[in-house]
Amino acid sequence: MHEMSLVESVREIVEETARANGARRVALVRLEIGVLAQVEPEALRFAFDVVMRGSLAETARLEMVATPGTAWCMACSQAVEIAARGDPCPRCESWQLQVSGGDRMRVLDIEIE
């Protein structure tokens, strides 16, 4: 389950940011997760609860914002939205797609107290 290591990296980012801003605790962590990022939301939520124990974010809420997958179709020269890697172009049904977005996860923001 690679979600555990992802959340460990999130914990480092959150704690470093919280300490740099003199926070007593973190109330909210908001993550942006692309639909092509190969992250399982329920596994990520479970890992978040486990990894954040004993940290400034132990009682923090986790919000996940999904971003669509996008790709450039080499056949029809259009930017298109795709639901999964390996999907054909929804316009021309070509398989010649270059993923251009929705394949990342990042910390959008945190709310501290």
Instruction: For 44-94, write each residue's pLDDT tens digit.
Output: 999 999 999 999 999 999 999 999 999 999 999 999 999 999 999 999 999
Nearest to 13, CA basis, from 65, 57, 60, 64: 57
CATH class of 3-112: alpha beta
Mean pLDDT of 82-108: 97
Structure tokens at 51: 């990894």
Query: Under a CB-based contact definition with an 8 Å cutoff, are residues 8 and 55 in contact?
Result: no
Assessment of whether the complete model's pTM goes beyond 0.75 = yes
- In this prediction, residue 32 has a pLDDT band, given cuts at 50, 70 and 90, of very high
- What pLDDT does 1 receive? 59
The helix (run of H) or strand (run of E) holding residue 45 is helix 41-51
